[in-house]
Amino acid sequence: MLRDVLTWLVGHPKVFGQAIWQHLTLSCLALTAAITIALPLSFVLLRWPKAAGATVGAVTVLRAIPSLALLALMLPSLGTGFLPSFVALALYGLPAILINSYTGLRGIDPDIVEAARGQGLSNRQVMCRIQIPLALPVIFAGIRTAAVQIVSAATLAAFIGGGGLGELITAGVGMLDIPQLIVGGLAVAVLALSTEIGFGLVERRMARAGGA
């Protein structure tokens, strides 16, 4: 079986390379979009605590929706292809980042923030120099969780034409091509594990730097 898998890889390098590229592109863009939405929103919620509970509760509902169902919900409005896959995966990664960001920012001692403002720092300077650095370990933990979730869920984007490694798996199942199926499955597993380990190493370094 190992020989068959290697033979498939040698015979289809472009197919495999394209699937990896599509998977990484989709995952990275979705994660970037989730971060871009979650971080500013967490600061808004910090200033409007009355809206925080409802907003956090609403995004938490996204966690209860299976990733494949969330992808399917994009079909009526966005159709098939890259765009609905991107939107669904960004929404899928949003809860972990938003909840951790809001929790980390809310956990900062208010006296530290007030002291910074008392020294003449603007709101933007307080955010960049005080709040984000102090909350960064908690924020990054949410980003790590979201990254692994997105990389794993991106496999299902193949069902709505989003491309990626999921296409190797679905094609392998459809054509009973076991080597192709194994290649796709192993690639997704390695990619998800590498994401977990890579982000975990960065997170531990940040924790050690913060403790130093």
pLDDT recorded at residue 62: 77
- Residue 101's contacts (CB-CB under 8 Å, 6 or more residues apart) are 38, 39, 42, 135, 138, 139, 142
Type and span of the H or E element at 5 = helix 2-11
> 90 pLDDT band (50/70/90 cuts)?
very high
Residue 71 vs residues 8, 60, 77, 168: alpha-carbon distances, Å: 30, 17, 11, 18
Mean pLDDT within 92-118: 88
CB atoms within 10 A of CB 70: 18
Q: Per-residue pLDDT tens for 108-157?
A: 888 888 888 888 888 788 888 888 888 888 999 999 999 999 999 999 99
43-85 pLDDT, tens digit per residue, is 888 888 778 888 888 888 877 788 888 888 888 888 888 999 9
Average pLDDT, integer, range 179-207: 90
Q: Hey, what are 198's tokens?
A: 């890579």
Domain of 186, CATH number, reads: 1.10.3720.10
Q: Please tell me the chain's helix, strand, coil percentages from 3-state DSSP, rounded to the nearest 5.
A: 90, 0, 10
User: Would you state the pLDDT for residue 168?
Assistant: 92
205 pLDDT more than 60: yes
At 5, is the pLDDT very low, low, confident or very high (cuts 50, 70, 90)?
A: confident
> For position 31, what pLDDT does the model report?
96
pLDDT at 96 over 80: yes
pLDDT, tens digit (0-9, with 9 covering 90-100), for 151-190: 999 999 998 888 899 999 998 888 888 889 999 999 999 9
**Is the pLDDT score of 211 beyond 70?**
no
* Cβ atoms of 201 and 147 closer than 8 Å: no
The more confidently predicted of residues 124 and 31 is 31
DSSP string across 84-110: HHHHHHHHHHHHHHHHHHHHHHHTS-H
Q: Which residue range(s) make up the domain with 79?
A: 2-211
If pLDDT is split at 50, 70 and 90, which confidence band does 29 have?
Answer: very high
Q: How many domains does the chain contain in total?
A: 1
